[in-house]
Chains A and B, each alone.
Chain A
Amino acid sequence: MTISWRNIWRHPGRSGVLLASIIAGLWAGVMIIGLMNGMFLQRMDYLIDSEITHAQVHHPEFLTEGYSRLYIPNHEEIDEWLRDDTRVRSHTLRTITDGMLQSPVKTSGTRIRGVDPERERETTTFHENIIDGEYLDSSIRNPVLVGKRLADTHNLELGDRVVLTFEDVNNELTSAAFNIAGIFESASPQYDDANVFVRSEDMIRLIADRPIFHEIAMMLHNEDDAEAVTAGLNERFSGIEAQTWYELSPEIRMMVEFGGAMLFIITMIIMLALAFGILNTMLMALFERMREIGVLLSIGMSRIRIFLMIMLEATILTLTGALAGIGLAWLSIRKLSESGINLEMFATGLAEIGWDHMIYPFVEGSEFVTIVILVITITILATLYPAVKAMRINPLEAARDT
C-alpha cells in the first residue's frame, strides 16, 4: 500500500542510511564470498592439475610408510583397466620412495618421485613449474629436477651432480649419482623443498628387477566421477587403495571445510548486522508513529493491516537495498572474474604459502539465490517484532495529550 511507500520517504536520511548500509554490506559480503571462492578454487585446481589429480591408487600402507617395497602389486591390470575406462582422460604411473639427497654442501631428506615424462606431461601440469633448465625428457643421463629453494640451500646449479640414496624393494640401501636437468618452483615452497623428480625407469633400475610403481594418478573428464571411479577400482582390485582428490589432500579438505565455515560466518555476520539495522530503524519509526498508529486504529484500520503496513515498509526498503547490493556485487564479480584482482600489494604472504596473488572471484548462482532467500527471511524475522508491537498499540494513543 502507498502508505508504506510514503512512510519510507518520510525520513529520507534514515531510510537512506539503512539502504546504503544494506547495499554496502551485501556488496562487501558477496565480494568476500566471491574472493574466497576464487582463491580456494584456484588453489584447488592448481593442486589437482599439477600434482594430486582427480584420483590416485596406492598400496594401502604406502602413503603412511613410504617404503619402496609397498608398491602396487597389480599395476599392469589397473593400467589396462584405466585405459579402457572412458571416464578417465589420462593416467600416469609413478615410482616413489623416501630417501636422501646429498650435495657437496649437505644432505637433506627428500621424497624421490620417479615419473614417466611423457605420460606425466599428458596428465598433470607439473612441467609448467620448471623455471630453469629442462624437463625430464632431457637427453642427459640420470636427470633430476630439484626445487628452487632446495637448489639454493644446496648451492646447486644446472648440470651439478647429486647423490640420491634410498632403499630398494628388499630394504637394501642403494645410491646413484643424478644430474640436475631442471629447477622447478611450484606454488608451494614446502612441496618444493621436500620433493625431487627423476625418471621412473632410472629409479626402477636401482630398486627392483622389474617395473614397479607406487602410485597411479589419473585425471578424469569430469571430476564428479572421482568417487565412482575409485569405488570401482577398490571393488575390482585387491591389495590396493584408490582415493579421490578430496581424500588425498588434507589441504583441499581443510580448504573445503574452512571455506564452508568462513562462508557461514561471513553470511551470519552480514545477516546479523542486517537484522539489527532493520530492527533499529523500524523500532525508531514505530516509536515516532505511536500516535499515528493510534489514529489509524481509532478510525478503523484493522490490526492485521497495520501489521502488514509495517512489514511491507521494511520489506520494500530491505529488498530494494538487497537487490541493489547483490546486483552491484554481481556486476563487480562479473567484471573481476575476467580481469582478476591483484592482491600482491596487500598480501605478500600469499605467495609464501603458495597461493596465487591474482584472484578471479566468482559466485555461483545458487549462492546468490541463497543470499536473497536469507535476506528475505531475516527481514521478515527482524520486522516481526516491531510489526507485532505496532499491531498491539492502544487506539487511545491517538487522543493522548502532547
Chain B
Amino acid sequence: MAILETKNLSKIYNPDTVPVHALRDVSITIDKGEFTAVRGPSGSGKTTLLNMLGGLDRPSKGAVYVDGKEITNMKDSDLIDFRLRNIGFVFQHYNLIPVFTARENVSFIMLLQNRSKEEIRKRADSLLEQVGLGSKKDSRPVQMSGGEQQRVAVARALASEPMFILADEPTANLDTAAAMNLLDIMEKMNRDQNVTFVFSTHDQRVIDRARRVITMVDGAIHKDEEKVSP
C-alpha cells in the first residue's frame, strides 16, 4: 500500500536568475513499512526531495501524495497541521529545543496535538526507554552527546504517531558507534512497529542496512534497488 507517492516532481531554484534544476521529473512510491535510503553525490537533490516529501517546500512542478491525499496544493496553515499529525522529522543537526529536557522535547509535539497529559507522559517515557535514554529523561540537550540527542530526535519524530519518518542525513554528525546504535533503534522500530523510514545519506554503512536504496544523480532517479531480505 503506497503511503507516499510523487508524480513528475520537479524543483527549480532561482527560476528567474540562475536556474538550478534540483529535481527533474521524480516519480516514486513508498509503501508502508519501508526502510529506504536515498543516496547520491552532494548536490544531487536528496535534501530537496525529502523537503518535498515532508511538505516543507513546494515543487515547481508535479505533486506529492500522502496516503492518497495531495499535499502540494494545501494552504500553508493546513500543511503545518498536516505535518503535525502525519509526518515525523529527524534532522542532521538534531535540532532539539535547547531549553527543554529530553522528556519535554518528546512531549512537546504531543502537546501540540492536544493529547491528554497522562497519555503524553506515558508515551514520552516509553519512547525514551525505547531509544535507550530512560536514565536521561530530565537532561537538557547540552548535557547529552550527539548520538543521544539524535535518539531523542527519533523519539520526538515517533511521538506524534506519524505515517512515516523523514530523516535527512541523520548520522552525518555521528561517530560510527553512535550511528550504528541509531540505525539499530530505527531498524527495531521498523521491524517491531512497522514504522516507515525514508532517510538520505552519504554513508555506506547506513546504505548497507537499508532495504531499498534510491540513487539520485543530478536531480533525477538513477537507480532504485530493492534488497531481498535475508
- Residue B98 interfacial (CB < 8 Å): yes
Nearest Cβ in chain A — how far from B158, in angstroms? Answer: 12
| B-contacting 9-mer, from A42-50, A266-274, A392-400 | A392-400
Query: A300-B83, A300-B109, A300-B160 in contact; A10/B98 too (CB < 8 A)?
Result: yes
Bound CA–CA A2/B76 (angstroms) = 26
- Residue B197 interfacial (CB < 8 Å): no
Nearest Cβ in chain B — how far from A4, in angstroms? Answer: 10
**Complex contacts, A300 vs chain B, CB 8 Å:** 80-85, 109, 112-113, 160
Bound CA–CA A3/B104 (angstroms) = 10
B77 touches A295 (CB 8 A): no
Query: A10-B99, A396-B56, A399-B47 in contact; A303/B77 too (CB < 8 A)?
Result: yes
- Residue A299 interfacial (CB < 8 Å): yes
Encoded as 1 (CB less than 8 Å from any B CB) or 0, chain A from 281 to 312 comes to 00000000001100111111111010000000
B99 touches A7 (CB 8 A): yes
| A-contacting 9-mer, from B29-37, B89-97, B209-217, B222-230 | B89-97
B91 touches A396 (CB 8 A): no
A292 touches B109 (CB 8 A): no
Taking CB as reference atom, which chain B residue is nearest A289?
B98
B80 touches A303 (CB 8 A): yes
**Complex contacts, B82 vs chain A, CB 8 Å:** 300
A298 touches B54 (CB 8 A): yes
| Contact count band on B | 20 to 34
B95 touches A292 (CB 8 A): yes
Nearest Cβ in chain A — how far from B199, in angstroms? Answer: 13
Bound CA–CA A310/B109 (angstroms) = 18
**Complex contacts, B54 vs chain A, CB 8 Å:** 298
- Residue B181 interfacial (CB < 8 Å): no
A299 touches B109 (CB 8 A): yes
| Contact count band on A | 20 to 34
- Residue B100 interfacial (CB < 8 Å): yes
- Residue B168 interfacial (CB < 8 Å): yes
Interface centre among B47, B91, B156, by most A CB within 10 Å?
B91
**Complex contacts, B157 vs chain A, CB 8 Å:** 299
Question: Which among A302, A395, A401 is the interface contact of B56 at CB below 8 angstroms?
Answer: A395
Interface of chain A residues 197 through 254 with chain B (CB within 8 A): none
Bound CA–CA A302/B112 (angstroms) = 9
Taking CB as reference atom, which chain B residue is nearest A1?
B111
**Complex contacts, B112 vs chain A, CB 8 Å:** 299-302, 305
- Residue A9 interfacial (CB < 8 Å): yes
**Complex contacts, A2 vs chain B, CB 8 Å:** 104
Interface of chain B residues 98 through 133 with chain A (CB within 8 A): 98-100, 104, 108-109, 112-113
- Residue B57 interfacial (CB < 8 Å): yes
**Complex contacts, A9 vs chain B, CB 8 Å:** 99
- Residue B27 interfacial (CB < 8 Å): no
Query: Which residues of A are at the interface with B, using a C-beta cutoff of 8 A?
Result: 2-3, 6-7, 9-10, 291-292, 295-303, 305, 395-396, 398-399, 401
23 contacts between A and B (CB under 8 A): A3-B97, A6-B100, A7-B99, A10-B99, A291-B93, A292-B95, A292-B97, A295-B89, A295-B97, A298-B54, A299-B84, A299-B89, A299-B109, A299-B112, A300-B112, A301-B80, A301-B112, A302-B81, A396-B56, A396-B57, A398-B56, A398-B91, A398-B95
Besides A3-B97, A300-B160, 13 more A-B contacts (Cβ < 8 Å) are A7-B99, A10-B99, A295-B89, A298-B54, A299-B83, A299-B109, A299-B112, A299-B157, A300-B84, A396-B56, A396-B57, A398-B56, A401-B92
Closest 4 CB pairs of A and B: A300-B84, A6-B99, A295-B95, A300-B83
